[in-house]
Amino acid sequence: MQKQVNSSMLKTTAAKLPKNLPQQIEPCFKSHETLYIKQDDGKDFVIISASDWRMIEETLFLNRIPDGYNYS
């Protein structure tokens, strides 16, 4: 069972994730939600869609360019 962390992040545990993985990750693709997975050892992680990850990578790249992407 997923718990809502905030409006854009769902939360579950690593132990619960394999039981219904397709249903757990579907919101990541359909509504660009982030799935936060908590582990007992404190090594938590998140799942996001590949398209969301590409947008993050592009943003990080653009932030490295002096003056951003404004060349006017």
pLDDT over 90, % of the chain? 65
Position 66 scores a pLDDT of 79
- Look at domain 3-64 and name its CATH class: alpha beta
Q: Of the candidates 20, 19, 12, 71, which has an alpha carbon nearest to the alpha carbon of residue 47?
A: 12
Place of tokens 């582990």: 39
Domain ranges of the chain: 3-64
Q: Alpha-carbon torsion 41, 42, 48, 52, what sign? A: negative
pLDDT digits (tens, 9 = 90+) for 23-56: 999 999 899 999 999 999 999 999 999 999 999 9
Dihedral sign of CA atoms 2, 25, 56, 8 in order: negative
The residue assigned the tokens 């404004």 is 70
The predicted model scores a pTM of: 0.72
pLDDT, residue 34, reads: 93
pLDDT beyond 90 at 5:
no
Phi and psi dihedrals of 18, rounded to 5? -65, -20
- The whole-number pLDDT of residue 69 equals 58
